[in-house]
Amino acid sequence: MSTNNSTPENSIASEQNTDHRITGPHHEPPTVANATTYWRCEACERESIREQDLHREAFHAEDCGVADRC
């Protein structure tokens, strides 16, 4: 029995309010040429292979709610 009460990252409970956060790393399928990992802003749906890009306000769309927290 686990004593850890935190919500697993991939559980349904962790998907609440996913529209205003940065998620990743996401892995492209191996069938994609030059497959890589990337991060996504769920609010404005922009993606980057560099996580630090998503922590810059200028990266996000003008009306993005995540940009306000950068």
Cα four-point dihedral sign 47, 50, 33, 10: negative
Q: How far apart are CA 18 and CA 69, in angstroms?
A: 15
In angstroms, the CA 58 to CA 61 distance is: 8
pLDDT grade for 8, boundaries at 50, 70 and 90: very low
> pLDDT digit string (tens) for 14-65?
445 556 799 999 999 999 999 999 999 999 999 999 999 999 999 999 999 8
- pTM (predicted TM-score): 0.65
